[in-house]
Amino acid sequence: MVSDLDALAGERVVSETAEEVADAVATWIAAQARKAHADHGSFSIALSGGSTPRLLHGMLAGPAWQGRIDWAWWNVYFADERACPPNDPASNYHLAATTLLRLVPIDPSRVHRMPAERADLDAAANEYSDLLAGSLPASERGAPRLDVILLGLGENGHTASLFPGTPALEVTDRWATRGRADYEPFDRITLTFPIINAAAAVGFMVTGAAKHEALTATAKGEVPASRVRPVDGTLAWFLDAAAAAG
Protein backbone atom coordinates (compact mmCIF):
# COMPACT_ATOMS: atom_id res chain seq x y z
CA MET A 1 0.00 0.00 0.00
CA VAL A 2 1.40 3.41 -0.98
CA SER A 3 1.61 5.93 1.88
CA ASP A 4 1.58 9.69 1.50
CA LEU A 5 4.77 9.63 3.58
CA ASP A 6 6.70 7.34 1.23
CA ALA A 7 8.50 10.34 -0.29
CA LEU A 8 9.72 11.50 3.14
CA ALA A 9 13.52 11.64 3.01
CA GLY A 10 15.36 9.51 5.54
CA GLU A 11 14.45 6.56 7.73
CA ARG A 12 11.03 6.27 9.38
CA VAL A 13 10.69 4.65 12.79
CA VAL A 14 7.03 4.33 13.77
CA SER A 15 6.07 3.47 17.36
CA GLU A 16 2.60 3.00 18.80
CA THR A 17 2.74 5.73 21.46
CA ALA A 18 4.61 8.96 22.20
CA GLU A 19 6.33 7.23 25.13
CA GLU A 20 7.61 4.53 22.79
CA VAL A 21 8.83 7.24 20.42
CA ALA A 22 10.83 8.77 23.28
CA ASP A 23 12.36 5.39 24.12
CA ALA A 24 13.30 4.82 20.47
CA VAL A 25 14.96 8.24 20.34
CA ALA A 26 16.83 7.56 23.60
CA THR A 27 18.17 4.34 22.10
CA TRP A 28 19.19 6.19 18.94
CA ILE A 29 20.92 9.00 20.86
CA ALA A 30 22.87 6.53 22.97
CA ALA A 31 24.08 4.77 19.82
CA GLN A 32 25.05 8.05 18.16
CA ALA A 33 26.94 9.12 21.31
CA ARG A 34 28.94 5.88 21.36
CA LYS A 35 29.74 6.27 17.66
CA ALA A 36 30.84 9.89 18.08
CA HIS A 37 32.97 9.13 21.12
CA ALA A 38 34.69 6.26 19.33
CA ASP A 39 35.38 8.54 16.37
CA HIS A 40 36.55 11.75 18.05
CA GLY A 41 36.30 11.39 21.81
CA SER A 42 33.23 13.50 22.53
CA PHE A 43 29.56 13.95 21.64
CA SER A 44 27.69 17.11 20.61
CA ILE A 45 23.92 17.43 20.50
CA ALA A 46 21.49 20.27 19.78
CA LEU A 47 18.22 20.06 21.70
CA SER A 48 14.78 21.44 20.79
CA GLY A 49 11.75 22.43 22.85
CA GLY A 50 8.21 21.09 22.85
CA SER A 51 6.08 18.47 24.56
CA THR A 52 7.64 15.41 22.92
CA PRO A 53 11.20 16.29 24.00
CA ARG A 54 9.87 16.65 27.54
CA LEU A 55 9.02 12.94 27.45
CA LEU A 56 12.47 12.15 26.08
CA HIS A 57 14.23 14.23 28.73
CA GLY A 58 12.31 12.53 31.51
CA MET A 59 13.26 9.15 30.12
CA LEU A 60 16.96 10.01 29.76
CA ALA A 61 17.09 11.43 33.29
CA GLY A 62 15.18 8.48 34.77
CA PRO A 63 16.51 5.27 36.28
CA ALA A 64 16.12 3.22 33.10
CA TRP A 65 18.47 5.39 31.05
CA GLN A 66 20.59 7.73 33.18
CA GLY A 67 23.12 5.07 34.17
CA ARG A 68 23.45 3.78 30.60
CA ILE A 69 24.85 7.04 29.22
CA ASP A 70 28.31 8.53 29.79
CA TRP A 71 27.30 12.16 30.33
CA ALA A 72 30.93 13.29 30.52
CA TRP A 73 31.05 13.00 26.72
CA TRP A 74 28.17 15.42 26.16
CA ASN A 75 28.38 18.96 24.77
CA VAL A 76 24.91 20.48 24.60
CA TYR A 77 23.69 23.14 22.17
CA PHE A 78 20.23 24.28 21.12
CA ALA A 79 18.40 24.20 17.80
CA ASP A 80 16.50 27.38 18.65
CA GLU A 81 15.42 29.62 21.48
CA ARG A 82 12.63 32.05 22.22
CA ALA A 83 13.28 35.70 23.13
CA CYS A 84 12.72 35.35 26.86
CA PRO A 85 14.84 34.97 30.00
CA PRO A 86 16.40 31.54 30.62
CA ASN A 87 14.19 31.01 33.69
CA ASP A 88 10.99 31.70 31.74
CA PRO A 89 8.78 28.59 31.34
CA ALA A 90 8.59 29.39 27.59
CA SER A 91 12.37 29.04 27.23
CA ASN A 92 13.70 25.92 25.51
CA TYR A 93 16.75 26.12 27.76
CA HIS A 94 14.52 26.22 30.84
CA LEU A 95 12.71 23.09 29.64
CA ALA A 96 15.96 21.24 29.03
CA ALA A 97 17.54 22.43 32.29
CA THR A 98 14.62 21.47 34.53
CA THR A 99 13.75 18.15 32.89
CA LEU A 100 17.23 16.86 31.97
CA LEU A 101 20.39 18.90 32.34
CA ARG A 102 20.18 19.56 36.09
CA LEU A 103 19.23 15.95 36.78
CA VAL A 104 22.21 14.26 35.13
CA PRO A 105 25.98 14.71 35.62
CA ILE A 106 26.67 17.03 32.68
CA ASP A 107 29.39 19.63 33.22
CA PRO A 108 27.55 23.01 33.12
CA SER A 109 30.45 24.49 31.13
CA ARG A 110 29.53 22.09 28.32
CA VAL A 111 25.98 23.45 28.06
CA HIS A 112 25.77 26.28 25.53
CA ARG A 113 22.44 28.07 25.65
CA MET A 114 21.30 30.68 23.14
CA PRO A 115 21.20 34.13 24.87
CA ALA A 116 17.86 35.07 23.32
CA GLU A 117 16.89 37.34 26.22
CA ARG A 118 19.27 39.99 24.88
CA ALA A 119 17.88 43.18 23.37
CA ASP A 120 20.07 42.85 20.26
CA LEU A 121 19.04 39.45 18.90
CA ASP A 122 21.11 39.85 15.75
CA ALA A 123 24.28 40.30 17.80
CA ALA A 124 23.32 37.39 20.07
CA ALA A 125 22.74 35.14 17.05
CA ASN A 126 26.08 36.15 15.54
CA GLU A 127 27.85 35.36 18.80
CA TYR A 128 26.20 31.93 18.91
CA SER A 129 27.25 31.37 15.32
CA ASP A 130 30.83 32.16 16.33
CA LEU A 131 30.55 29.83 19.34
CA LEU A 132 29.43 26.97 17.09
CA ALA A 133 32.29 27.60 14.68
CA GLY A 134 34.84 27.85 17.48
CA SER A 135 33.81 24.79 19.46
CA LEU A 136 32.84 22.23 16.81
CA PRO A 137 34.83 20.58 14.00
CA ALA A 138 34.16 21.83 10.49
CA SER A 139 32.33 19.70 7.96
CA GLU A 140 33.65 19.24 4.45
CA ARG A 141 31.61 22.25 3.29
CA GLY A 142 32.81 24.42 6.17
CA ALA A 143 29.78 24.45 8.46
CA PRO A 144 30.31 23.32 12.08
CA ARG A 145 29.41 19.65 12.44
CA LEU A 146 27.15 18.56 15.30
CA ASP A 147 26.92 14.85 16.01
CA VAL A 148 23.14 14.99 16.60
CA ILE A 149 20.44 17.58 16.08
CA LEU A 150 16.99 16.85 17.51
CA LEU A 151 14.14 18.63 15.75
CA GLY A 152 10.38 18.91 16.03
CA LEU A 153 7.80 19.69 13.38
CA GLY A 154 5.20 22.43 13.65
CA GLU A 155 1.74 22.10 12.18
CA ASN A 156 2.74 24.70 9.57
CA GLY A 157 5.83 22.70 8.62
CA HIS A 158 8.39 24.79 10.49
CA THR A 159 11.30 23.21 12.29
CA ALA A 160 13.66 24.80 14.83
CA SER A 161 12.55 28.44 14.40
CA LEU A 162 12.67 28.30 10.61
CA PHE A 163 9.15 29.48 9.83
CA PRO A 164 7.50 29.70 6.40
CA GLY A 165 8.17 32.93 4.52
CA THR A 166 10.82 34.30 6.89
CA PRO A 167 14.32 35.62 6.07
CA ALA A 168 15.97 32.96 8.25
CA LEU A 169 15.17 30.35 5.60
CA GLU A 170 17.62 31.92 3.18
CA VAL A 171 20.60 32.51 5.49
CA THR A 172 23.59 30.59 4.15
CA ASP A 173 26.62 32.42 5.57
CA ARG A 174 25.90 32.03 9.30
CA TRP A 175 25.17 29.05 11.54
CA ALA A 176 22.67 30.85 13.78
CA THR A 177 20.40 33.73 12.92
CA ARG A 178 17.40 35.70 14.10
CA GLY A 179 14.10 33.92 13.55
CA ARG A 180 10.51 35.11 13.55
CA ALA A 181 7.63 32.89 14.65
CA ASP A 182 3.96 33.26 13.81
CA TYR A 183 2.93 32.95 17.46
CA GLU A 184 4.24 34.40 20.72
CA PRO A 185 6.98 34.81 21.66
CA PHE A 186 7.58 35.94 18.09
CA ASP A 187 11.29 36.75 18.24
CA ARG A 188 13.72 33.82 18.19
CA ILE A 189 17.25 32.64 17.54
CA THR A 190 17.57 29.58 15.34
CA LEU A 191 20.14 27.34 13.73
CA THR A 192 20.26 27.71 9.96
CA PHE A 193 19.88 25.07 7.27
CA PRO A 194 23.63 24.92 6.46
CA ILE A 195 24.57 23.74 9.97
CA ILE A 196 21.52 21.49 10.27
CA ASN A 197 22.41 19.79 7.01
CA ALA A 198 26.06 19.47 8.07
CA ALA A 199 25.17 17.31 11.10
CA ALA A 200 26.24 13.70 11.36
CA ALA A 201 22.69 12.72 12.34
CA VAL A 202 19.39 14.58 12.43
CA GLY A 203 16.35 13.16 14.18
CA PHE A 204 12.78 14.46 14.05
CA MET A 205 10.37 13.61 16.87
CA VAL A 206 6.77 13.94 15.69
CA THR A 207 3.71 12.78 17.60
CA GLY A 208 -0.05 13.22 17.30
CA ALA A 209 -2.54 13.08 14.44
CA ALA A 210 -2.46 16.89 14.15
CA LYS A 211 1.07 16.64 12.71
CA HIS A 212 0.18 14.29 9.85
CA GLU A 213 -0.69 17.09 7.43
CA ALA A 214 2.67 18.77 8.09
CA LEU A 215 4.42 15.44 7.54
CA THR A 216 2.65 15.05 4.22
CA ALA A 217 3.63 18.59 3.21
CA THR A 218 7.23 17.83 4.20
CA ALA A 219 7.23 14.72 2.03
CA LYS A 220 5.94 16.83 -0.87
CA GLY A 221 8.68 19.44 -0.42
CA GLU A 222 6.25 22.23 0.43
CA VAL A 223 7.42 23.46 3.86
CA PRO A 224 10.64 24.48 5.63
CA ALA A 225 11.16 21.02 7.16
CA SER A 226 11.44 19.65 3.62
CA ARG A 227 14.80 21.41 3.36
CA VAL A 228 16.40 19.28 6.07
CA ARG A 229 18.59 16.97 4.01
CA PRO A 230 21.91 16.10 5.68
CA VAL A 231 24.70 16.28 3.10
CA ASP A 232 27.04 13.76 4.74
CA GLY A 233 24.88 12.39 7.53
CA THR A 234 21.73 10.49 8.33
CA LEU A 235 18.12 11.59 8.77
CA ALA A 236 15.58 9.72 10.89
CA TRP A 237 11.90 10.39 11.59
CA PHE A 238 10.60 9.05 14.88
CA LEU A 239 6.80 9.00 14.64
CA ASP A 240 3.93 7.68 16.70
CA ALA A 241 1.17 5.78 14.98
CA ALA A 242 -1.20 8.75 15.14
CA ALA A 243 1.21 11.06 13.32
CA ALA A 244 2.08 8.43 10.76
CA ALA A 245 -1.54 7.50 9.98
CA GLY A 246 -3.20 10.89 10.34
180 inside domain: yes
Which is it for strands 187-191 and 80-82: parallel, antiparallel or unpaired? antiparallel
Q: Is the pTM of this model over 0.95?
A: yes
Task: Evaluate whether residue 5 is within a structural domain.
Answer: no
Predicted confidence band of residue 18 (pLDDT cuts 50, 70, 90): very high
Identity (one letter) of the amino acid at 127?
E
Give per-residue pLDDT as tens, 134-145.
Answer: 999 999 989 999
Whether residue 34 has pLDDT greater than 50? yes
> Is 68 part of a structural domain of the chain?
yes
d(CA 185, CA 165): 17
- On whether residue 153 sits in a domain, the answer given is yes
The answer as to whether 6 is a domain residue is no
pLDDT recorded at residue 51:
80
pLDDT per residue as tens digits for the range 59-102: 999 999 999 999 999 999 999 999 999 999 999 999 999 999 99
pLDDT of residue 2: 47
Q: How far apart are CA 168 and CA 125, in angstroms?
A: 11
Q: Is residue 4 situated within a structural domain?
A: no
Amino acid symbol at 173: D
Predicted confidence at residue 10, as pLDDT, reads 95
181 inside domain: yes
Q: Are the beta carbons of 127 and 189 closer than 8 angstroms?
A: no
Count of structural domains, the chain: 1
pLDDT of 1 above 70: no
Q: Is the distance from CB of 147 to CB of 45 less than 8 angstroms?
A: yes
**pLDDT over 90 at 246, yes or no:** no
Residue range(s) defining the domain that contains residue 162: 11-245
Residue 3 lies in a domain: no
The CATH number covering residue 115 comes to 3.40.50.1360
Q: What phi, psi does 41 have (nearest 5°)?
A: 80, 10
Q: What is the DSSP code (8-state) at residue 8?
A: -
Total residues found in the chain within this entry: 246
CB 40 within 8 A of CB 1: no
The amino acid at residue 220 is: K
| Rounded Cα distance, 210 and 52, in Å | 13
- Per the model's pLDDT, the better-predicted residue between 3 and 194 turns out to be 194
Q: Does the pLDDT of residue 106 top 60, yes or no?
A: yes
